[in-house]
Structure 1
Amino acid sequence: MEAASCCRVFSTQRCRFPLRRLSAPPWPQPFCTESSGGLVTPSASKRRSRGPVMAAKKAAEGEKQEDGKYKHTVDLPKTTFGLRANSVQREPELQKLWDDNQVLKRVSERNTGTAFVLHDGPPYANGDLHMGHALNKILKDFINRYKLLQNHKVSFVPGWDCHGLPIELKGKFIFLKSMDKETLSALTPIKLRQKAAKFAKATVDAQMKSFKRYGVWADWDNPYLTLSPEYEAAQLEVFGQMVMKGYIYRGRKPVHWSPSSRTALAEAELEYSENHISRSIYAAFKITNPSKSGMLDDFFPNVSLVIWTTTPWTIPANAAVAVNPKLIYAVAEVQSVFESESTSGGKQRKVGNILSSEKGKLFVIVASDLITTLESKWGVKLVVHKSFPGSALEHCRYAHPVNSNECSVILGGDYITTESGTGLVHTAPGHGQEDYITGLKYGLPIISPVDDEGNFTAEAGQFGGLSVLGAGNAAVVKYLDEQYSLILEEPYKHKYPYDWRSKEPTIFRATEQWFASVDGFRDAAMDAIRRVTWVPSQAQNRIVAMTSSRSDWCISRQRTWGVPIPVFYHVDSQEPLITEETIEHIKAIVLKKGSDAWWYMTTEELLPDRYRDKASEYRKGTDTMDVWFDSGSSWAAVLAKRDGLNFPADIYLEGSDQHRGWFQSSLLTSIATTGKAPYSSVITHGFVLDEKGFKMSKSIGNVVDPEKIIVGGKNHREEPGYGADVLRLWVSSVDYTTDVLIGPQILRQMSDMYRKLRGTMRFLLSNLHDWKPDNSVPYNDLPKIDKYALFHLETVMTSMKDSYESYQFYKVYQILQRFATVGLSNFYLDVAKDRLYVGGRVSFTRKSCQTVLMAHLLYLVRAISPIMPHLAEDVWQNLPFQYTLQDGSLANFVFDLKWPEKNEEWLSAPKDDVDFLGVILELRSEVNKILENARTGKLIGSSLDAKVYLHTESSDTVLKLKELSSASNDADALHRLFITSQVDILPILNEEITSSVPYTGKFSNPRTGVIWIGVTRADGAKCERCWNYTQDVGSFHDHPTLCVRCYGVIELQTQPAAAAVS
C-alpha cells in the first residue's frame, strides 16, 4: 500500500504513454481565462476578477500593460487537459486504452489483498437495456472499482438469463417471419430452440456492448450464459442433489397458471394489478341434510348456506363449503326486499332471482358479524332467528349448485374472516392453495375442469369449451341465477395476479407438476437469512416474510425453451423414473452436447445402460425447469466452478423485486444443497422513475434511455450526449435504496457538477506543469493555511472512504460537491492564485502551495475514479510527469494507484489553529459581502483595490489576527486570505474612525466575539505586475511600477540560472 504523503519519487519526464498518440480534441486549445470560461477552476465568487487573475488574463491575451514587459514573468497555468470533456469521443478512446492494456486483469492480478466477488444477477436476454439496467450495473462497478483501490483481487463475471417464454416466443416469431403459416408444423422443438438460442446470443452481444459503454469493468470475454452446456450441467447437478435429499416431488395441486402462455408460473413470475375487476357473486347453496343436532330442523328445507366468491367459474369444481369453527354464525330470515336492481358507487349491481321469487320463506346462514353489512349490500332486511359457533355446522350436507352431488360443510382455518364476504368459503381444492390444504385434511376430490388454454373441459358439462375468464364465467353466473341460487352479482376491484410476460390474468389450476418442498429446509433458510447483511436493513424483513410464508416451489414449466427436467415416465403406469444414476447420465450428456440433446436424442440414447433394454417402456418428459431455478443455480454454475471466485459471494446486488426472485431462488437452492446462503451481503436498489416521480412508459413518452444520455439523441440540442461519466455521476447522487428520479433537468444539474469538478481537476493539473519532486515542502515547514488544507483533505478522504465502505455513494457525491467544486475552489484555490501566478516560480510560498495541490490531485483522482473512471483516467493521462509507485514501477493508469492510507501527520495540525482558521473562513465570507457592497457603490473595482479594517474587544482574537496579519511566510497573511491589498487591526474603535469608513459590517462568533469590519480604498500605489496596492511601489528606479515582492521576483528571474538556483 502506498504511503499517504504526496512527496513521492517522480520522474521529471513528461508522460509518454500510448494515450499521448490518440487524436487531439478538435477544438483550439489556448489556455482559458476566468472571464472567458473560468481560469480552469470554477469562479470563486461574484466579485470582480482580481489582480493575479487579471494579470494572467492580460498576459495570456497578449494585451499591453504599459510596455507589456512583465507578462513573461507571470507563471501561467499550462496543461494538455482540455476544459471540455468531449466525452462522446473521448470515453471510447479511454476504454480502448484499458482494453488494449488489459488494465483490469493486470491490476487485479497484481493486487495482494483477498479476492472480492460481487456476483452478477443475470439480466434477461430479451430486448434493449433500460435505466434500471444502467443503475444496477453502474452501482456494481462503483463497488468493484473501489475494491480494486483497496488492493483486492476483483473478478466480476457478467451473466445473462437466456431461457424462458419471451425468448421462446421471439424465436417462434423469427421462424414464422421466414415461413408460410401453413408450414408452422415445420417448427419442431429443436428448430424453435435453435432460433431462441440465436436470438438470446444476439441480445447478449448487444447488451454487452451497452454495458461496456457505461464504463463497466467485467470479464467480458468469459460471461456466464444460462444456455451454455457447462451451466446447464451444473444446474442439473443442483437439481439432482435436491432429488437425492428428497426435496423434489411430483404432485397434482393448484398452481398459478397462465392461459395466455399455457404454462405454470412461479410467484416471481407474477405481477399484481391493483385495478383488476372481477365478477363477484353471493350465492346460496341449499342444505339437504341438516346437522344431527337438529339445530336447523325448524328452518329446513328452506335454509341455505351463502358464499361469496370473485371467481364464479370455479363453482363447477366446488367440493365443500368451509366455515371458521371459532366464528359465530346465524340463521337469518330474508324479509323486506327493498330493490331488485340498483347502482351503488358507480358499480352496476344485479340482484338474483332468488330474492324476488315467491317460493316461500328464505333462510340464510351467514356470519353474525356480517348481518348489517349484508343487509345494506343485498338491499334486504335480515331477521336473526338463531346463532351458533361454526363448529356446529360441520358435516351438514348441501346440494352442489351445478350438479346433483351432495357436499359437506367442513371446518377451515383462520383464513376465513369477517372482513369481507359472508364468513363461509366456497372450497374448490383444484383452484386454490388454501382450499387444497383444507381439502387434503378432509380427503376432498381435486377437481379442475380447465385445460391449458383456460377453457372449461367436458368435465364441466354444459360449460365445456368456454373461457373461464370470459364467456365461461358469465355462463356460470347466469346458470346460478336461473337455478335460484344467485343472490347478488357486482363488479369487484381488487389486487390480482397477472403473467409478468404476457400481462394477462392468471388462474389457479390443479395440474401435475414438479415441486421443491420448501418445508424441508425452510428453517435452515430462515436461519441463514439472519446471518446475512442486508442493505438497507429493512430488506431482511421482506425476504423473511416471503420465505416464511411461501408454499412449495413449482419448478416445472410446459415450455420448449429451457433446461429439461431429466425424468422418464413409464408408458403404462406413468410412474416417473428419476434416480441419481439417470440424472448423472443426463448431466454428462448435457455437459458434452448441451440440453438440445434431450430433444434430438432418443429415449434409448438418453437412458443409462442398464435401462436401455426397457427403453420402449419409457417416454421422456417434456417439462422444462422454471427460469428462476436456472438463475437460482448461478452460485453453483459460476461461483463454485470458476477459478478466482468465492462461494459464498461477498455481495449480491439487485432491484427490490428480487426478494421474491433471484435472491430467494438462489437462497433456496443453496440452502437445500449446501446448507448455507450463497451470499454474505445483499444490497437492494429501487426502481427508476421520471423526474416527476412517475413510472416510465413508452405510451406516456417519459422513458429516459441511457444510450441517449451517453451519446445523445437525433436532435443534439434537445438531447445532448453527456457521456457515461455524467450518467454514472447521477447514479452516485441518488439514494438508490429507494426509488430514484431522472430526467432532463436532473441531467443538466449532473452535467454542471461534472463540468465544475473537471474545472477543479484542470486547475490542479495546470498549476503543476513545472512540478518537480524536489519542490516538495516538508509538512512541518508548511504555512498554517496549507496545513489547514491538508487537514481538511484528509478529513474529507476519510469521510469518502467510510461512505464507499458502507455503499452510500450519494454521500460520496455530496462530499465531492461540497469540497471539490465549492469549498476547495471558493477558498484555497482562489487564495492560491496569487502565490501561483505572481509569487515567483521558485518562491517558498509557490512550492508549498504546489505541494498541497499535488496532494489534492493525487487524492481526488483516486476518490473520483470509482464513480467517474473516464475523467480520472483522462486526468492521469495528462499528468505532466510520470508517477512512481513504491515498488519502483510506473503508475501508467489511475487504477495502478491504491486508496491512500490515513495520514496521521496531516491530522496532527493543532486543533486551535484548525478551529481559528475555520473562523477566519466565516469572517472572510462576511468581508466579501462588504467588499461587494463597496464595489456596487463604485468605491472599488476588484477586491485588491480595498483595505480592510478589523476591530474586536477580544484580546485573544486580536493576538491571533495580528499573528496572521504579520505572517512572515506571506501565505498566511490576512490580506492574502481576504484577497485584498491590506488588512489593518485597529486597537480602538471610535466615532472618528467609523465615520471615515464608508462601508462597514459586523461578524459574530462564540470563539471570537464580535468583530467590526470596515472597508476603504487601499493605501499606496498599484503594482503593475500583481495589482496589489503598497506603499513601496516606485521605490526602484529600474522598475518603478513594481512592489517589493514583484521586484524581488523579477530580479531573481533575470539572474543567471546558477545564481537563481542557489
Structure 2
Amino acid sequence: MEAASCCRVFSTQRCRFPLRRLSAPPWPQPFCTESSGGLVTPSASKRRSRGPVMAAKKAAEGEKQEDGKYKHTVDLPKTTFGLRANSVQREPELQKLWDDNQVLKRVSERNTGTAFVLHDGPPYANGDLHMGHALNKILKDFINRYKLLQNHKVSFVPGWDCHGLPIELKGKFIFLKSMDKETLSALTPIKLRQKAAKFAKATVDAQMKSFKRYGVWADWDNPYLTLSPEYEAAQVFCLLSAFTEYGNDINNLLQNKSHFVCLSILLFQLEVFGQMVMKGYIYRGRKPVHWSPSSRTALAEAELEYSENHISRSIYAAFKITNPSKSGMLDDFFPNVSLVIWTTTPWTIPANAAVAVNPKLIYAVAEVQSVFESESTSGGKQRKVGNILSSEKGKLFVIVASDLITTLESKWGVKLVVHKSFPGSALEHCRYAHPVNSNECSVILGGDYITTESGTGLVHTAPGHGQEDYITGLKYGLPIISPVDDEGNFTAEAGQFGGLSVLGAGNAAVVKYLDEQYSLILEEPYKHKYPYDWRSKEPTIFRATEQWFASVDGFRDAAMDAIRRVTWVPSQAQNRIVAMTSSRSDWCISRQRTWGVPIPVFYHVDSQEPLITEETIEHIKAIVLKKGSDAWWYMTTEELLPDRYRDKASEYRKGTDTMDVWFDSGSSWAAVLAKRDGLNFPADIYLEGSDQHRGWFQSSLLTSIATTGKAPYSSVITHGFVLDEKGFKMSKSIGNVVDPEKIIVGGKNHREEPGYGADVLRLWVSSVDYTTDVLIGPQILRQMSDMYRKLRGTMRFLLSNLHDWKPDNSVPYNDLPKIDKYALFHLETVMTSMKDSYESYQFYKVYQILQRFATVGLSNFYLDVAKDRLYVGGRVSFTRKSCQTVLMAHLLYLVRAISPIMPHLAEDVWQNLPFQYTLQDGSLANFVFDLKWPEKNEEWLSAPKDDVDFLGVILELRSEVNKILENARTGKLIGSSLDAKVYLHTESSDTVLKLKELSSASNDADALHRLFITSQVDILPILNEEITSSVPYTGKFSNPRTGVIWIGVTRADGAKCERCWNYTQDVGSFHDHPTLCVRCYGVIELQTQPAAAAVS
C-alpha cells in the first residue's frame, strides 16, 4: 500500500512527457491555446473571468491585450488532457489498452489480499441487452474494481443461461424460416437443439460485446454457459467420475480442452441432481402444477408473471345434496337444499371431487325468496342470473356462510331467509350430486384458506387443479382428476366437453351446461390477479401431471437457518425470501421441452416405474463427458443403460423431460465456485434484481443447502427495476424505452440522441439508490453529462497545473499554509466517507460526495483561490509549490476514488500524467489500477481543530462577501472582484485577533484578500456613521462562533498591477517596471536571472 502523506506519497520520477500515449485524439494539445473558452475548472467564478490569466490567455491566442508585455511571465496551465472527452472514440482505445496489457489479470495476480468472488447471475441469452442488464453488470463492476483497489484478488466470471423455452422457440423460429412444409418433419430434437445452441451462442457473443463496451471487467475468455462453461476446475470431479470407463481416454479429453470445458457445468448439474436423488429429495409424482398451454410445459413460480387486469368468468353454482348428514339437521329442507360454491375457473368443475368447508366457520341454511331481477348491471359489466332462480320448481334452500348472507343477497338480487345455523364441521360427510356426471361426492373439511372474504364460504375442490385442493384431497384420499391435455383442451375423460379449450370454448360450455341443469345461480366477470407464462404472455392453468419434484420440506429448516446467516442488502430483502421459502411448495424441476439438460431417468414400459440410481446417473455423466448432452437424444436406450441393464433394455424407455432452467442456473455454484481455482465457495456476493428472490437466489440456495448444507453466498444484494424518467415501465409500444447502447454511442440523430460514452451511463448507475426502482431518461442523462463534464474539468485543472511538477518540489506537511492543511484535512475526511460508502455498497453516496466536493466545494473555493499563486505567484515560489503539493494529493486521491465508477476517465487522466509515478515496491504505476486505495493519513487529520473550524467559518463568510461583491459589480462600482476592497468589523475580540492574523499572513496564501480574491481586506477596530456612510455596499454575517460581522465593499486603494491585476500602493515603485507590484517585480527579476543563480 502506498503511503498517504503528501510529503511521502509523491514518489515520482520525471520522464519524457507525455507518458505512454495512446493514439492522439483530435483535441487541441496545449491547454493555453485551446479555443473552447473559459478557465480550466468549469465552475470558475465569473469574478475571475476578466483576471490576468484570461488576459494572458487571450494574448497567447493572438488577441489584443494592452501591450501584452508580461504575458510570457504567467505560468499558464498546460496539459494534453482534453476538456472534451470524445468518449465514443476514446473509451474503446482505453479498453484496448487494458486488454493488450492484461491489466485485470496482472493486477489481480499481483494483489496480496484474499480472493473476492462476486458470482454472476446468468442473464438469458435470448436477445439484446436492456437498461436492467446495464444496471446489473455495472453495479457488479463497481464492486469488483473497488475490491481491486483494496488489494483483493478478483476473478469475475460472467455467465449466461442458455437453456429454456425462450431460446428453444427462437431456435425453432429460425429453423422454420428456412424450411418448407415437406421438410418440416425433419425438425428432430437434435436439429432443434443444434439451432437453439447456435442462437444462444450468437446471443452470448453479442451481449458480451455490449458488456465489454460498458467497461465491465471480467474473465471474458472463460465465461460459464449453462450449455458450455469454461472451467478447468471441473477436471477433478469429471475425471474421477469417468476414469474407470475411459481409462487412457482421459489424456485425449485433456487435450481436447474445448470439448471438455463445454461439458463441465452440465456434469456438475447432473452431480447436484444425483446427490439430491441419493439423499431422497427428488421424487416423481402426479401433482397440480402451473401449466402453460401456449408453451405446453410445466412452469415454476419464477417463470410466471401476474397480470393485475385478468378477467375471469366467475360463477355461483348450486350442488344439490343427495344424502344429508346423519344428524338429521338438514332433513326439514331435503330434497330442496343445495351447497353453493363460487369459482373463477368453471372449467375445473368436471374434475370436482368434493366441496370443502371451514370447520370453524358458521354456516346457514337460507331460503331463496323474492327474486328481484333476472339480469342486472354492476359497474358497467353484464351479469347473468341463472335459470335456477327463475324456475318454478318449488322452494330452494342454499347452504352458505352466515357472514355472507347480506353480501349474497345484494350480489344475487334475492332475499335470503335464514332457517338454521351450524358450524362447518357438522356438514362433513354430507353427500351431493356431481353437477356434471352421475357421481356422488362428499363434503369435506378444509383449512384456513376457506374464508368469508369472498365467495360463499364453501370451496369447489378439484385436487387435479389446485395446490390447496390437492393437499386437502390427499387427506381424504380423493381422486386426482385432470381431464386436460398439454394444449389446454379437455380430453375425452371430460365427456361432452372433450376437445374444447378450457380457457375458451370449454369454459363457456361448462357454464352453459350448469345453467341448463339448473345449477347456475349467477355468472359475472371478475377482475383479479392471474398467473401468465412469462415468455408467451398467455394465461396458465393448474393441471395435475406426472412431474419430477424436489422435496423442499426435507431441507426447509436448514434453508431458513442459512438465510438468517446471510447479509441482505437492503435488509428488508431477507423478509421477502423468508416468506417465499417458508411457504413454498415442492419444486417442480421437470419440463416438457427439448432444449435443456435431460433428466437422466428411464421408465419401465409396462409399470412406468422410474429407474434412476447412483449407477445410472454416473453412467450417464460418463457418456455426457465423452459425447456431450445431445447423446441422450440420439443414443438408444440400450446404449444409455449401464451394462447390467442392457439385456433388459427393451423393457425400458428413456425419459424426454428436461430440467427446469432454474435448476440449471441454480447449480452454477457447483460448477463455477466450488470447482475453479481462485474462486471461493460460498461466494462473497450475489447481486441481482429483486425478482430473483423467487428465482436464482432461491434456486441456488435450495440446491446448495440440499447438497452441501450451507448457502452458496455470504451476502446478497438486490436492485430494483429501471423505469423511464416519469416513473413508467418502459415499453416499445409507448416509445419510452431507453437503450443503453444509444446512451453510449448515440442514435441516428446525434443532436437528439447524443453519444455520452460508457462513463456517463456508469455515472448514472452510481447516482441512483438502486435498492428501489430507478428512473432514467433524456433529462436525467443531460444532468449526468453535465456532472461528468464538471468532474472532468476538475481533473483537467489538477493535471494542467502540475505540468512542471517535480518530486522534490513537495512541501513538508508542517510547513504548509493553514489553507493548504485545511484542504488536505477535508480531502482525507472526504476519502474516508467515500470508502465507507463503497464498503456499504451505497454508490449513490459516493456520487453525492463527489458532486459536493470535487465539482462544487473544491472548484468553487480552493481551486479558485489557488489560481493567483499558481499563475502569477512565481514558478519557484513557496506558495506555488505548497499549492502544487496539495493539488498532487487531490489528483492521486480523486483518480482512485472515481476509478470504480468512471474507469475510462480515471485511466485517461492517468495516461496524461506528466510524470511517472513509482509505487512503494519501486515499480511504475503505468495504469490507474496499479494503484491501491490510499491508507488513512493521520497527519492530515491532525490539523488543529480550532484552525479547521475557523477556516470553515471563513468559507461561510466568503459566501456572504461574494454576494456583496456581486451587488457592487451589478452597480458598476467594480468590474472584477480584484477591483474591490473589503472591510470587516466585529465586536468579538477573539474573532478580531483571528481575522487580523489571516489578513497579515506572512505566507500570503492564508491572507484574507487571497481567500476573498480581492485586492485588500481591512479589519476595522470601530464602526461609526462616517465609515458606514462612505461605504456604498454593505451586509452582515452572523455565526455563533464569531458573532455578527459587518461587511463593506468599496473600490480598492492604489494602482492596478499590469501583471496580476491586483491593486496595491506600491505599483510604480520600480522605474524599470513601473506598472508592477512588489510581488510581480520580484517574480520578473527572478525569471531574468541566469539559470544557475535562480537555482541557487
Query: How far apart are the structure 2 equivalents of 1:787 and 1:201?
Result: 57
Secondary structure at the aligned position of 1:334 is classed as: strand
Shift of 1:58: 3.3
Residues 925 and 931, structure 2, Cα contact 8 Å, conserved in 1: yes
Residues 8 and 773, structure 1, Cα contact 8 Å, conserved in 2: no
Shift of 1:556: 0.2
Shift of 1:585: 1.0
Which of 19-28 and 408-417 deviates more?
19-28
Aligned residues: CA RMSD: 1.5
Residues 19 and 97, structure 1, Cα contact 8 Å, conserved in 2: no
Residues 790, 10 of structure 1: CA spacing in aligned structure 2 closer, same or farther, 3 A cutoff? closer
Secondary structure at the aligned position of 1:205 is classed as: helix
Shift of 1:23: 2.5
1:395 alignment partner in structure 2: 429
Shift of 1:135: 0.1
Residues 18 and 913, structure 2, Cα contact 8 Å, conserved in 1: no
Shift of 1:152: 0.1
Query: How far apart are the structure 1 equivalents of 2:32 and 2:415?
Result: 88
Secondary structure at the aligned position of 2:291 is classed as: strand
Shift of 1:780: 0.2
Query: How far apart are the structure 1 equivalents of 2:1036 and 2:67?
Result: 43
Residues 232, 1033 of structure 1: CA spacing in aligned structure 2 closer, same or farther, 3 A cutoff? closer
Which of 221-230 and 82-91 deviates more?
221-230
Query: How far apart are the structure 2 equivalents of 1:773 and 1:32?
Result: 24
Shift of 1:12: 6.8
Shift of 1:807: 0.2
Query: How far apart are the structure 1 equivalents of 2:47 and 2:702?
Result: 64
Residues 58 and 64, structure 1, Cα contact 8 Å, conserved in 2: yes
Shift of 1:45: 3.0
Shift of 1:515: 0.1
Query: How far apart are the structure 2 equivalents of 1:840 and 1:17?
Result: 22
Secondary structure at the aligned position of 2:106 is classed as: helix
Shift of 1:280: 0.2
Query: How far apart are the structure 1 equivalents of 2:92 and 2:842?
Result: 28
Query: How far apart are the structure 2 equivalents of 1:657 and 1:1017?
Result: 66
Residues 137 and 216, structure 1, Cα contact 8 Å, conserved in 2: yes
Deviations 1:126-167 (A, max 9, x none): 000000000000000000000000000000000000001111
Deviations 1:262-316 (A, max 9, x none): 0000000000000000000000000000000000000000000000000000000
Secondary structure at the aligned position of 1:1016 is classed as: strand
Shift of 1:32: 5.9
Residues 980 and 1051, structure 2, Cα contact 8 Å, conserved in 1: yes
Residues 6 and 858, structure 1, Cα contact 8 Å, conserved in 2: no
Aligned length in residues:
1062
Secondary structure at the aligned position of 2:7 is classed as: coil
Residues 13 and 918, structure 2, Cα contact 8 Å, conserved in 1: no
Shift of 1:496: 0.3
Residues 230 and 591, structure 1, Cα contact 8 Å, conserved in 2: no
Residues 52 and 833, structure 1, Cα contact 8 Å, conserved in 2: no
Query: How far apart are the structure 2 equivalents of 1:432 and 1:47?
Result: 76
Residues 12 and 917, structure 2, Cα contact 8 Å, conserved in 1: no
Shift of 1:40: 1.4
Secondary structure at the aligned position of 1:1051 is classed as: helix
Deviations 1:300-356 (A, max 9, x none): 000000000000000000000000000000000000000000101111100000000
Residues 56 and 68, structure 2, Cα contact 8 Å, conserved in 1: no
Residues 15, 584 of structure 1: CA spacing in aligned structure 2 closer, same or farther, 3 A cutoff? farther
Query: How far apart are the structure 1 equivalents of 2:875 and 2:18?
Result: 31
Secondary structure at the aligned position of 2:900 is classed as: coil
Residues 257 and 265, structure 1, Cα contact 8 Å, conserved in 2: yes
1:315 alignment partner in structure 2: 349
Residues 13 and 807, structure 2, Cα contact 8 Å, conserved in 1: no
Shift of 1:7: 3.7
Residues 503, 185 of structure 1: CA spacing in aligned structure 2 closer, same or farther, 3 A cutoff? same
Shift of 1:600: 1.1
Shift of 1:69: 2.5
Shift of 1:64: 4.9
Residues 1003 and 1010, structure 1, Cα contact 8 Å, conserved in 2: yes
Residues 17 and 892, structure 1, Cα contact 8 Å, conserved in 2: no
Report sequence identity in percent. Answer: 100
Residues 1009, 9 of structure 1: CA spacing in aligned structure 2 closer, same or farther, 3 A cutoff? closer
Deviations 1:73-104 (A, max 9, x none): 10010001011000000000000000000000
Query: How far apart are the structure 1 equivalents of 2:233 and 2:385?
Result: 59
Residues 32 and 38, structure 1, Cα contact 8 Å, conserved in 2: no
Residues 247, 132 of structure 1: CA spacing in aligned structure 2 closer, same or farther, 3 A cutoff? same
Deviations 1:160-193 (A, max 9, x none): 0000111111111111111102321101100100
Residues 48 and 941, structure 1, Cα contact 8 Å, conserved in 2: no
Residues 232 and 563, structure 1, Cα contact 8 Å, conserved in 2: no
Deviations 1:940-998 (A, max 9, x none): 10000000000000000000000000000000000000000000000000000000011
Residues 316, 230 of structure 1: CA spacing in aligned structure 2 closer, same or farther, 3 A cutoff? farther
Shift of 1:589: 1.6
Secondary structure at the aligned position of 2:1005 is classed as: coil
Matches within 5 A, 1:822-841: 822-841=856-875
Query: How far apart are the structure 1 equivalents of 2:455 and 2:527?
Result: 14
Structure 2: gaps (5+ residues): 235-268
Query: How far apart are the structure 1 equivalents of 2:14 and 2:788?
Result: 27
Shift of 1:805: 0.2
Residues 84, 15 of structure 1: CA spacing in aligned structure 2 closer, same or farther, 3 A cutoff? farther
Query: How far apart are the structure 1 equivalents of 2:307 and 2:818?
Result: 64
Residues 454, 231 of structure 1: CA spacing in aligned structure 2 closer, same or farther, 3 A cutoff? farther
Query: How far apart are the structure 1 equivalents of 2:197 and 2:124?
Result: 13
1:762 alignment partner in structure 2: 796
Residues 43 and 790, structure 2, Cα contact 8 Å, conserved in 1: no
Query: How far apart are the structure 2 equivalents of 1:836 and 1:487?
Result: 91
Residues 484 and 543, structure 2, Cα contact 8 Å, conserved in 1: yes
1:340 alignment partner in structure 2: 374
Shift of 1:592: 2.5
1:853 alignment partner in structure 2: 887
Query: How far apart are the structure 2 equivalents of 1:590 and 1:213?
Result: 36
Secondary structure at the aligned position of 1:887 is classed as: coil
Deviations 1:867-891 (A, max 9, x none): 0000000000000000000000000
1:99 maps to 2:99: yes
Query: How far apart are the structure 2 equivalents of 1:553 and 1:231?
Result: 28
Deviations 1:571-592 (A, max 9, x none): 1111110000111111122122
Deviations 1:863-918 (A, max 9, x none): 00000000000000000000000000000000000000000000000000000000
Secondary structure at the aligned position of 1:561 is classed as: coil
Shift of 1:5: 2.0
1:519 alignment partner in structure 2: 553
Residues 12 and 918, structure 2, Cα contact 8 Å, conserved in 1: no
Residues 10, 776 of structure 1: CA spacing in aligned structure 2 closer, same or farther, 3 A cutoff? closer
Secondary structure at the aligned position of 1:689 is classed as: strand
Shift of 1:358: 0.1
Residues 265, 473 of structure 1: CA spacing in aligned structure 2 closer, same or farther, 3 A cutoff? same
Which of 842-851 and 585-594 deviates more?
585-594
Query: How far apart are the structure 1 equivalents of 2:654 and 2:229?
Result: 20
Residues 1023 and 1043, structure 1, Cα contact 8 Å, conserved in 2: yes
Query: How far apart are the structure 1 equivalents of 2:977 and 2:407?
Result: 80
Residues 121 and 652, structure 1, Cα contact 8 Å, conserved in 2: yes
Query: How far apart are the structure 2 equivalents of 1:547 and 1:457?
Result: 35
Residues 668, 650 of structure 1: CA spacing in aligned structure 2 closer, same or farther, 3 A cutoff? same
Residues 703, 66 of structure 1: CA spacing in aligned structure 2 closer, same or farther, 3 A cutoff? closer
Residues 43, 56 of structure 1: CA spacing in aligned structure 2 closer, same or farther, 3 A cutoff? farther
Residues 68, 373 of structure 1: CA spacing in aligned structure 2 closer, same or farther, 3 A cutoff? same
Shift of 1:803: 0.2
Residues 66, 438 of structure 1: CA spacing in aligned structure 2 closer, same or farther, 3 A cutoff? closer
Query: How far apart are the structure 1 equivalents of 2:534 and 2:232?
Result: 24
Residues 722 and 774, structure 2, Cα contact 8 Å, conserved in 1: yes
Query: How far apart are the structure 1 equivalents of 2:534 and 2:584?
Result: 19
1:429 alignment partner in structure 2: 463
Query: How far apart are the structure 1 equivalents of 2:108 and 2:55?
Result: 48
Residues 31 and 80, structure 2, Cα contact 8 Å, conserved in 1: no
Query: How far apart are the structure 2 equivalents of 1:529 and 1:56?
Result: 66
Which of 227-236 and 282-291 deviates more?
227-236
Residues 307, 881 of structure 1: CA spacing in aligned structure 2 closer, same or farther, 3 A cutoff? same
Residues 15 and 879, structure 1, Cα contact 8 Å, conserved in 2: no
Residues 476, 838 of structure 1: CA spacing in aligned structure 2 closer, same or farther, 3 A cutoff? same
1:530 alignment partner in structure 2: 564
Query: How far apart are the structure 1 equivalents of 2:1030 and 2:15?
Result: 57
Secondary structure at the aligned position of 1:239 is classed as: helix
Residues 100, 606 of structure 1: CA spacing in aligned structure 2 closer, same or farther, 3 A cutoff? same
